[in-house]
Structure 1
Amino acid sequence: MITRMETGTRMSKIVIHGQTVYLCGQVGAGATVADQTRDCLSRVDALLEQAGSSREHILQAIIWLADMADFAEMNAVWDAWVPEGHAPARACGEARLARDELRVEIIVTAALKA
């Protein structure tokens, strides 16, 4: 069974299949990469909660940065957010994002809480 939440014409914000939660890419507001990363991760937290999961259950994260020069600044926020002992598999790369003001986008796959 597949459950789709907050579904529009183009995409769903959350898709649940079996015990796995897939979130659409999340971006955040703010002037700096740190601000955008914090806001983005706050959105991830809210969607995971809505889906019945949490950051402790993240399996994989894919992070896109508009400029890899922002890697350390993003990582400082990320490292403080990830619960100790629960670091997911992760990839990070540089990509042109949907709008010029965006500096970071995070895509998360997680397990449902048991």
Structure 2
Amino acid sequence: MVELQTSRLDAVFHALGDATRRRMLRDLSNGQRTVGELAAPFDISLAAASKHIKALERAGLVSRTVKGRTHFCRLEPRPLEDAHEWIGFYERFWTGRLDILEGLLRRDETPAPQGNDQGDDND
């Protein structure tokens, strides 16, 4: 991933680190919403909701358009794809490590072949 995207990726993970913002993104996945509609499920002021939306905007996850006094927000999924790509690297890493571990565990579970004991215990 290009180094210039580091600050954007940091902003995405910061935005996703808050449950309120994650819920707002989920709501936006169903279509455009006003700031009031995004704030409605929470016990927060419109000013607090706007701060959450600004964090989402800084991350590039939300775009806002203004028509009169109404602010409409729309989900911008591209930064989520970048985050998914970043996480995918580690998913491949851990999948490979876990596959190796599984192979070792399966090898240890396999019963050792029982050979004929040639020695006599009657000596």
Q: TM-score range by the shorter chain?
A: under 0.3
Rg larger for: 2
More helix by share: 2
Flag the structure with more relative contact order, 1 or 2, with Cα contacts below 8 A and sequence separation at least 6. 1
Q: TM-score if structure 1 supplies the norm length?
A: 0.26
Q: TM-score if structure 2 supplies the norm length?
A: 0.25
